[in-house]
Amino acid sequence: MSVFGLSAFADHEQVVHTWDRATGLRAIIAVHSTVRGPAIGGLRIRRYDDEQAALTDVLRLSEGMTFKAAVAGVPFGGGKMVVIADPQRDKTPALLHAAGLAIERLGGRYVTGEDVGSTVADMAELLSVTSYVMGAPEEAGGSGDPSPSTALGCFCGITAAVRHRLGRPDVSGLRVAVQGLGNVGWNLCQLLAEGGAELVVSDVRGNLVAAAEREFGAAGVEPDAIYGAKADVFAPCALGAVVNDDTLPLLTAPVIAGGANNQLADEERHGQLLRDRGVLYAPDYVINAGGMIQFAVERIAAGPGLDWDEVDRRVRGIGATLSDIFEQADQSGIPTTAAAREIARQRLTRQPA
């Protein structure tokens, strides 16, 4: 397996494979960039088909974190850690401690937080072996669950997108198809429902779909049916690469804006195809930056306690950032993905203020 030859390698500074015999830990830490500061990114614990799939995932995710931090204007770079394991069966305090020691060995180049398969409680476990942790419970000095901040940023981004594409001031009366009812998807549904949107939802966990039907009056559909659901907005909030050659022809929504990472299977090609079809795409690493912003504010706090007003201000600013990206894409005749990348690249050429 060639790391350097992968298209997802994308000039990473450091890729570390780590293994621990006693706990069975198999993990990869990818540090994409520390140009603007230490690399931050979540700890993902997930079953992968093979090591190649895990490597591709961690490389794409860490690169996305670099651009996410750059566009959000925080003094950090991008990284990610994936642990190849079943979080329901294999995750133990010993496994987490081994992961934490691997992070500690990097000496602060990478700082981790909650992600798919890990929890706020897991971050507390990591704190016993490393200080390079964000999002631990508030009683342990952290800022806790980032999902509400991510969902709020997505809601502000959706509002900006429907204003730009549909000429609507808010989501009231719009139909939004939400794919995935995890922590981010559920919190986003709550905000959308409070804003007067009509919801169509899907998840591989039928109990969550049923709960959303009761809680929000949502219409539940089978996972594969969400792509073709009639909607004004398609909001992917599950795993990545859901907009691909197979699903793109099925999509009917004129706006794609959601919380998942790496929503486009091929960012450049599918970004152009969406533009050609008249679909407005909110680049994932811009719209879903709310949790990262919360962690960044936590990490740079000078004293105890988190300035939640500052978190709220920065997260709500995601809407304005996206509006600028949409305008720039229109003026230049390029996909929104290219406009967002250009902003990120410009910021990566200079140190943050």
Which residues sit opposite 170 in a β-bridge? none
**Model confidence over 68-110: pLDDT tens digits?**
999 999 999 999 999 999 999 999 999 999 999 999 999 999 9
Q: Chain-wide mean pLDDT for the chain?
A: 95
Tell me the mean pLDDT in the region 108-126: 96
Judged against a pLDDT cut of 80, whether residue 317 lies above it is answered with yes
End-to-end CA distance of the chain: 40
Tell me if residue 43 falls in helix, strand or coil.
strand
Q: 239 exposed, middle or buried (CB, 10 Å; 0-12, 13-18, 19+)?
A: middle
Predicted confidence band at 304 (pLDDT cuts at 50, 70, 90)? low
Rounded to whole angstroms, how far apart are CA atoms 352 and 38?
12
DSSP secondary-structure letter at 37? S
pLDDT value at 353 more than 60: no
Q: Is 230 a catalytic residue?
A: no
Enumerate domains of the chain plus CATH numbers.
7-66+73-138 (3.40.50.10860), 147-288+320-347 (3.40.50.720)
Please check whether residue 285 is in contact with residue 352, taking contact to mean a CB–CB distance below 8 angstroms: no
> For the segment 214-261, what is each residue's pLDDT rounded down to a tens digit?
999 999 999 999 999 999 999 999 988 999 999 999 999 999 999 999
- What is the C-alpha separation between 272 and 278, in angstroms, rounded? 10
Mean pLDDT along residues 265-276 = 97
Check: pTM over 0.85? Answer yes or no: yes
